[in-house]
Amino acid sequence: MLARAVGLAAYRVARPLLFRFDPERIHRLTLRALRGAGEDPVGRAVLAAIGAAPRSGRLLRVGDLRLRNRVGVGAGFDKNGVALRAWAALGLGFAEVGTVTPLPQPGNERPRLFRLSPDLALINRMGFNNAGAAELARHVMLSRRFLPPGFVVGVNIGRAKATAEEAAPADYAAAFRLVAPVADYVAINLSSPNTPGLRAMQTPETVAALLSALEESGRELGCRRPIFVKLALDLDDDALAPLAGAVAAAGAGLVLGNTSVGRRGLTAPAALRDEAGGLSGRPLRPRMLEMVELARKHVGPGTPIMASGGIGSARDAAAAMDAGADLVQLWTGLVYRGPALIGEAIAATS
């Protein structure tokens, strides 16, 4: 307990200093530190001391997944799956790595990540920068034997920026074939605002066809995997209902949701508010809760739902569960709260 208190206090002290530097640089250094700590016995012990120790050896069931708890890190934090051992040491129940495309791509030009500290938010226009699906699969495979029981690895896949709209299904299939053999579940990202034309795929017909194709790929590979569809929080209620229905009919799950192009209610300076890209963090919480509740009413109790967006406290995590979520994902809240958020969220969702 003392080590945890010291570690959490150290983050509170260090955060103002870290926030003086470019956010993408700090994120890259953070991942490097997590990777190093995860690969070292002493480092893992330190992470375990400041993280959230598993409460029991019992695993909970969400769809076809078996997890030690309901809290994970969302896609985009660890795009190439390099820090899985660290996420496990911190006590999380799962990590969703990616978004990854079939081949490596550099993403959009920098700067492409911005802090909106007054709003506890970020804006990013990263553009699916990643080392490619094969490299991510290699990282996951190398980490597998070191991961504890009940720690689940999800892989988020997307379409390359240069891929034409009509060829997008082939991109998802190619990425799926590379990552499915090493993943516990696969999430398909149809909702990033930073890849032109991607959100146009958020139609019931497209979703149904894509899920059917990936299911067939899983059968051919001999490794059928649970699939989740990540939708935009900017969808209106009338669009969400048929999409959720198509996902449920295919036996897949939902991630609600992705970053938003909306800027309502922000208090950060206009120069930051007006940056292009997707908004994440506290401002997304109200819409995330609305969408989770609405989706749950439409799909019933059998479809797994992950709440992702605006979870920055135990209260937020509990509210997501009350709205109908089965699992919660952390991202921007970790940037502002640090590892303290992990333990709080696990306690609130247990």
Distance between CA atoms of 215 and 249, rounded to whole angstroms?
Answer: 13
State phi, psi for 7 to the nearest 5 degrees.
-65, -40
- Cα–Cα nearest to 136, from 193, 83, 91: 83
242: how many CB neighbours lie within 10 A of its CB? 14
Pick the catalytic residue from 192, 217, 308, 313.
192
Helix axes 41-50, 23-38, angle to 10 degrees: 110
Containing 347, the helix (H) or strand (E) segment is: helix 340-349
Q: In sequence order, which residues have a C-beta less than 8 Å from that of residue 148 and are 6 or more positions away?
A: 54, 68, 88
Is residue 156 within a helix (H) or strand (E), and if so which, with residue range?
strand 152-157
Residue 192 falls in the annotated catalytic set: yes
For 7, 175, 300, the CA distances from 84, given in Å and listed in that order, are 20, 20, 32
Which residues are annotated as catalytic?
A: 192
